[in-house]
């Protein structure tokens, strides 16, 4: 089920030069799984902006978004007290219903946020969680400490070597023991990860969306299980479903 409602901005602050964190107060009962997203109406913009949920509790939502266009630039200029119209509870989200004892969470750039609540849940369930975060450069790194504070084993890879391992997230994999993986990030990262990992996993994809709730068929993709809408039957697909 979904909820369309009005949410009040509690805070909106930059984490890096282009990545921002917005906290919103409002009804969160329809958000049921990590990896789901909200769709935000912005004044003067025709389409809503789909943003993954980083974390939530009974009365607030945390979103982390990257300023990539005019809509997200609008968002970055908003301040506490302003109100936004959101659709919440969209998408399937990650399933933690697996036998994995040592799950690995792999995030690339702005693909990192939806893994945060997932890590929190997996750790609360008593699993040993490893997290590998990939960025271009040290100045773009965010949330490594937040994942550490949850109790996860965190490694960082940067393409230029300015923090952590020099290279891509896949260059860190040989150092990590894991029996399952969850990933969100750019397509080449997801593909390289699927090639490198022997075990099963779940991957979160993105696509340009019209509605965000399954009506317009704008974000369809072909999978081994037939056509799926990234907004409705996704954004999370199982590794074996993905057609590269």
Partner 1 sequence: MLDTSVTLSGWRLDNPVIPASGTFGYGREFRDFYDINILGTFSFKGTTLEPRFGNPTPRIAECTAGMINAVGLQNPGLDAVVAHELPHLKTFFRKRVIANISGFSVEEYAACAERLGREEQVGLIEVNVSCPNVRHGGMSFGTDPDHAASVTRAVKAVTDKPIYIKLSPNVTDIVSIARACEDAGADGICLVNTMLGMRIDLRRRRPVIANTMGGFSGAAIFPVALRMVWQVASACKIPVIGCGGVETARDVIEMMMAGATAVEVGAANLRNPYACKEIVESLPAEMERLGIERLSDIIGAAQND
Q: Are strands 165-166 and 153-158 parallel, antiparallel or unpaired?
A: parallel
Total binding residues for partner 1 by CB under 8 A?
Answer: 27
**Given the complex with partner 1, which of 39 and 62 has the nearer CB atom?**
39
1, burial (CB in 10 Å: exposed 0-12, middle 13-18, buried 19+) = exposed
**Given the complex with partner 1, which of 5 and 167 has the nearer CB atom?**
5
Which listed range, 94-102, 133-141, 178-186, 201-209, lies at the site for partner 1 (CB under 8 A)? 201-209
**Given the complex with partner 1, which of 3 and 239 has the nearer CB atom?**
3
Integer Cα distance of 71 and 152 in angstroms: 33
- Interface with partner 1 includes 2 (CB under 8 A)? yes
Provide the 8-state DSSP code for 50: E
Integer Cα distance of 235 and 165 in angstroms: 29
Integer Cα distance of 133 and 143 in angstroms: 9
How many residues are listed for the chain in this entry?
A: 244
Binding letters toward partner 1, positions 26-65, x by CB under 8 A:
---------------x---xxxx-----------------
Binding letters toward partner 1, positions 68-107, x by CB under 8 A:
---x---------------x--------------------
Rg (CA), the chain: 17
Binding residues for partner 1 (CB under 8 A): 1-2, 4, 41, 45-48, 71, 87, 207-211, 213-222, 227, 232
């Amino acid at each position: 089920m979904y909820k369309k409602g009005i949410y009040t901005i509690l805070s909106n602050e930059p984490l890096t030069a282009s990545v921002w964190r917005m906290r919103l107060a409002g009804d969160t009962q329809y958000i049921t799984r990590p990896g789901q997203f909200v769709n935000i109406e912005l004044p003067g913009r025709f389409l809503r902006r789909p943003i993954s949920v980083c974390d939530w509790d009974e009365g607030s939502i945390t979103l982390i978004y990257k300023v990539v266009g005019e809509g997200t630039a609008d968002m970055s200029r908003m301040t506490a007290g302003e109100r936004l119209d959101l659709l919440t509870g969209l998408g399937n989200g990650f399933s933690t219903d697996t036998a994995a004892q040592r799950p690995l969470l792999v995030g690339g750039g702005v693909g990192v946020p939806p893994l945060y609540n997932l890590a929190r849940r997996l750790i609360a369930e008593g699993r040993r969680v490893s997290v590998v975060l990939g960025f271009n450069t040290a100045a773009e790194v965010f949330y490594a400490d937040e994942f550490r504070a949850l109790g996860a084993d965190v490694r960082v890879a940067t393409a230029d070597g300015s923090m952590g391992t020099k290279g891509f997230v896949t260059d860190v994999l040989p150092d990590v023991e894991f029996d399952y993986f969850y990933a969100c990030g750019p397509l080449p990262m997801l593909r390289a990860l699927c090639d490198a990992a022997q075990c099963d996993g779940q991957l979160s994809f993105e696509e340009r969306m019209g509605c965000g709730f399954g009506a317009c068929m704008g974000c369809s993709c072909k999978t081994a299980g037939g056509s799926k809408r990234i907004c409705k039957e996704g954004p999370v697909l199982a590794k074996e479903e993905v057609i590269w």
